[in-house]
Amino acid sequence: MILGLDCAEPSLVFDAWRDELPTLAGLMERGAYGPLTSVVPPITIPAWSCMMASRTPGDLGVYGFRNRSDHTYDGAFIANGSAITEPRLWDLIGRAGGSSIVLGVPGTFPPRPLRGVMVGCFLTPSVESRYTYPPALRDEIAEVVGTYMFDATGFRTNDKDDLLRQVYEMTERRFQLADHLLETRPWQLFAMVEMGPDRMHHGFWKFMDTEHRSYEPGNPYENAIRDYYRHLDGQIARLLRHADSDTLVLVVSDHGAKRLDGGIRVNEWLRREGLLATQAEPDGVCSPRDVGIDWSKTTAWGEGGYYARIFLNVRGREPEGTIAPEDYERVRDDLARRLEAIPDENGNPLLTHAYKPEEIYPQVNGVAPDLIVIFGDLRWRSVGTIGGEDGVHVFENDTGPDDANHAQDGMFIAAGPGVAASGRRQAHLLDVAPTVLELLGQDVPESMRGRSLASELR
Amino acid sequence: MNLVVYLSDALRTDHVGCYGARFVRTPTIDELAAGGARFDQAISTAPWTCPSTTSMISGLYPQHHGHYHWDSKVDPGLPNLFTVAEAAGMTPGSFVFDEDFLFKGVPGANVAGSSETLDGAVEWLRAHRSEPFVLWFHSWATHMPYDIRHSRRKEWRKAKADIIAGIQSDSASALEELKEGYRSAVEYSSETLLASFLEELERLGLREQTALAFVSDHGESWGERFTEKKDVKGTYHMHGAALNEEVVQVPFILSAPGRVEPTEIFSQVSMVDLMPTLLDMAGMPLDGLDGSSLVPIVEGTEQGDRPAFIAGTDGGRLSQLALRQPPWKLLLQVETGEEEAYRLDLDPRERHSRPDEVPAELRDRLFAELESAEQKELTAEEEATVTSRLTDLGYL
């Protein structure tokens, strides 16, 4: 039984609120727990698919939500389930004759046929979409929970009460459905992911974290995240009724959460460095594409999001490439150094990492970014806009919630047969699938990048 | 080389002499088989005419051509037997049971008349004898009500209703009467229609330059699988609703004197292979289709069973998908995900479903095939919804 909590933060569960989360604390006492180091980038897409397949983003050819489909300037796709071609846990368990219940695991819309049932993830457009396998399950869901919710919406508004209401409703319906499926379907593997923690962190972190720039003492949402975790703990207890003494229970997250200090406007920075040219001066804050990029004078461009993907404009590779192929490595090294040297707004150094994909992935499939940049040890995010009054640094909430960013380490708790009460330890997200397979007595495919922790957990 | 497809609709293999029929005499078909390649295990791609024939002319499975119903939209740009042959200078023509259905709107099919009698086809052959041609003759003589004279529509409809009433009555004599009608129709089809057709080819001196495929589009059943015979409500329940052996096994004989040596082929093939096989024989090898030429199997350079997918349709939608890979046949209900699996060697009548014993590769292949049938592209609206949600969340 894999209970995925998107973005659940280990320090909150293991330390700050352990006493308030009796269900999770009980599992921790019975088993093993600790930080679960995520992949780079530590982000929902592709991290959950990496966990379920024990393959790196490079293997999957998925480097984030939006990926380049080719070396043109416009070829892009949102990496939904169709992009994931590697077998995931339920495929492997199905091949060995077992049935699975897969509920909301990111990377499962559109759903694929499997032995068992699958309910599409948060990238499902709406309940009108074909979001289940088998298709008839969709009607059953409507009968059991009413309108199933894939995600909460409205993050740009400041109606926090509405956001809270949505997250609770979404969570309750998902757990109600989980309960129903566990009751009515056979399963060797139950895998679900609740998006609520991630949405709560992005929407409410600043109300809780005394070190956040926007923290206000005594605000009404000070305990919103804690209360939600307590609610989740109760929901998890409800599902654990279906876990007998023979069931291995894993509570996992794809990454953690931490305070967000601000954003680096990566394209604005490139423009100021003379590396990105536009057709016209931006009239206010906009995307470089809104005013048109002058590709013939552009060396590099970037994408926003919680981390930056930097693409170089290489002659013979991009349609209007400017970097000679023989200069590629030199330009890339130079750019990486300069990106890593971007200071905070007061000129203090940030702990920024600019990774080359081939250095962090054993295999690089698809069209990878030339650099993957994590600003300020994930305390800073990447913003794709240019123009306007702001400089390179931004602190405003105009491009999405800016309360929290992802932390590199997620969490895991393992309890059940084969897991001794052994306290805190470290694990890697890629180790989850091989560990599960070994504990189920199945072969671990050699292509898996992680290793089984079964012998260490005993 | 000319190409001819002579199709006898709804012809069960167990009613053809060379396939082992004991109470039906089909010496003409048997003789054709004795002089050519007889495929012992040919599997239709669907249990009824519309999706099955579209597979036979396009080399694509129903799950890829999408012709699930006569009203379904099919991409007119799909290459088919007629358009490919025509582009190579062959004259296409076809004779069908009803011009409002078969090949309606199919580019290149060039429907030239009815197959109710041989007259039109004979005339057509005489007119085109001196040019390379591709001819499709789709005989309905063996389709229920097992009486070819369907121009008298009212009587013909009544005859159909009588067949259904006979099955519903669950009386041995009624059933025997309608089966006798079927046996007579098969004999008539073989000994009068096919025999005359072949004689005409011979007389025109075309036999040696013609590759002829004698085929059917599906088999037939008479309520055997129904506990309540009242539930047999129409033709759909005789061939169309189920994918059992009696409706998906079809006769398939490939005859090309001087080109195809007499042989019996026991490997499984799919009727999706028909179009690339015929075109290959006429010097137009094709690839990139679901089907591929059977010439290597006929010539003995390829051994083993080819996988065969079978699509069930209901109301213009894909409702079932099966993979027949001897000794297994695995069937999936598309909406509910329910599985049935049969060991055809141990359980040829498909009585005991054993889905838990199916080799995993088979299920993987069937799942992959089902996935390939479904439209995966998001609509513009869906795409916009997802993009705006992700933008709000700060991910894009």
pLDDT tens string A132-147: 999 999 999 999 999 9
> B119 CB near a chain A CB, below 8 Å?
no
Q: What is the DSSP letter of B319?
A: E
For chain A, the farthest-separated pair of C-alpha atoms sits apart, in whole angstroms, at 66
Position B337 scores a pLDDT of 95
Position A195 scores a pLDDT of 97
> A94 CB near a chain B CB, below 8 Å?
yes
Position A401 scores a pLDDT of 57
Position B278 scores a pLDDT of 98
> A305 CB near a chain B CB, below 8 Å?
yes
B270, β-bridge pairs: B43
For residue B1, the one-letter residue type is: M
Angle at B62 between CA B58 and CA B65, to 5 degrees: 55
- Say how far apart CA B124 and CA B120 lie, in whole Å: 6
CB pair distance less than 8 Å for A113 and B367: yes
Q: Which chain A residue is nearest to residue B359, measuring alpha carbons? A: A95
Q: What is the pLDDT of residues A367-419, one digit of tens each?
A: 999 999 999 999 999 999 999 988 999 886 555 556 888 999 999 999 999 99
Position A157 scores a pLDDT of 73
Lowest mean pLDDT of A6-20, A115-129, A334-348, B146-160, name the range. Answer: B146-160
Q: Which chain A residue is nearest to residue B394, measuring alpha carbons? A: A400
Contacts of residue A125 in chain B, CB cutoff 8 Å? 378, 381-383, 385-386
Q: Is residue A210's pLDDT more than 90?
A: yes
Position B151 scores a pLDDT of 58
CB pair distance less than 8 Å for B371 and A126: no
Nearest by CB: A95 against B335, B364, B370? B364
Q: What's the mean pLDDT in A319-327?
A: 97
A289: CB partners within 8 A, 6+ apart: none
Lowest mean pLDDT of A377-391, B67-81, B150-164, name the range. Answer: B150-164
Q: What's the mean pLDDT in A449-455?
A: 96
Q: Minimal Cα–Cα distance from A32 to chain B, Å?
A: 33
Position A397 scores a pLDDT of 55
CB pair distance less than 8 Å for A155 and B394: yes
Position A15 scores a pLDDT of 97
- pTM for the complete prediction? 0.91
Contacts of residue B371 in chain A, CB cutoff 8 Å? 112-113
- Say how far apart CA A438 and CA A26 lie, in whole Å: 24
Q: Is residue B149's pLDDT more than 70?
A: no
Position B152 scores a pLDDT of 67
Q: What is the pLDDT of residues A43-93, one digit of tens each?
A: 999 999 999 999 999 999 999 999 999 999 999 999 999 999 999 999 999
Nearest to A81 by CA among A117, A129, A46: A46
- Say how far apart CA B62 and CA B83 lie, in whole Å: 19
Q: Minimal Cα–Cα distance from A95 to chain B, Å?
A: 5
Average pLDDT along chain A: 95
- Say how far apart CA B267 and CA A7 lie, in whole Å: 54
Q: Return the structure tokens found at B272.
A: 């999706």
Angle at A366 between CA A400 and CA A296, to 5 degrees: 75
- The single residue listed with the structure tokens 């089984």 is A452
Lowest mean pLDDT of A391-400, B189-198, B359-368, name the range. Answer: A391-400
Position B377 scores a pLDDT of 76
For residue B266, the one-letter residue type is: F
- Say how far apart CA B152 and CA B142 lie, in whole Å: 17
Q: Minimal Cα–Cα distance from B198 to chain A, Å?
A: 48
DSSP H or E segment with residue A228: helix A224-240
Q: What's the mean pLDDT in A424-449?
A: 97
Contacts of residue B391 in chain A, CB cutoff 8 Å? 400
CB pair distance less than 8 Å for A136 and B337: yes
CB A311 within 8 A of CB A298: no
Q: What is the pLDDT of residues A156-209, one digit of tens each?
A: 777 899 999 999 999 999 999 999 999 999 999 999 999 999 999 999 999 999
Q: What confidence category does residue B234 fall into, taking pLDDT thresholds of 50, 70 and 90?
A: very high
Q: Which of B:343-382 have CB within 8 Å of A?
A: 356, 360, 363-364, 366-367, 370-371, 374, 376, 378, 381-382
Q: Which chain B residue is nearest to residue A304, measuring alpha carbons? A: B396
Q: Which chain B residue is nearest to residue A154, measuring alpha carbons? A: B392
> A157 CB near a chain B CB, below 8 Å?
no
> A160 CB near a chain B CB, below 8 Å?
no
Position B41 scores a pLDDT of 98
Q: Return the structure tokens found at A222.
A: 């000070």
- Say how far apart CA B328 and CA B308 lie, in whole Å: 11
DSSP H or E segment with residue A162: helix A160-184
CB A152 within 8 A of CB A163: yes
> A130 CB near a chain B CB, below 8 Å?
yes
Q: Which chain B residue is nearest to residue A66, measuring alpha carbons? A: B396
Contacts of residue A97 in chain B, CB cutoff 8 Å? 356, 360
More confident residue, B149 or B91: B91
> A123 CB near a chain B CB, below 8 Å?
yes
Contacts of residue B63 in chain A, CB cutoff 8 Å? none
CB pair distance less than 8 Å for A202 and B371: no
Q: Which chain A residue is nearest to residue B383, measuring alpha carbons? A: A125
Contacts of residue B383 in chain A, CB cutoff 8 Å? 78, 125
Position B378 scores a pLDDT of 82
Q: What confidence category does residue A153 fall into, taking pLDDT thresholds of 50, 70 and 90?
A: confident
> A306 CB near a chain B CB, below 8 Å?
yes
Q: Minimal Cα–Cα distance from B289 to chain A, Å?
A: 22
> B317 CB near a chain A CB, below 8 Å?
no
Q: Is residue B148's pLDDT more than 70?
A: no
For residue A225, the one-letter residue type is: I
Nearest by CB: B336 against A96, A126, A136? A136
Q: What confidence category does residue B153 fall into, taking pLDDT thresholds of 50, 70 and 90?
A: confident
Best residue of A65, A198, A380 to probe chain B, by most B CBs closer than 10 Å = A65
Angle at B260 between CA B255 and CA B263, to 5 degrees: 85
CB pair distance less than 8 Å for B394 and A400: yes
Q: Minimal Cα–Cα distance from B351 to chain A, Å?
A: 22
Task: Tally C-beta pairs within 8 A across A and B.
Answer: 88
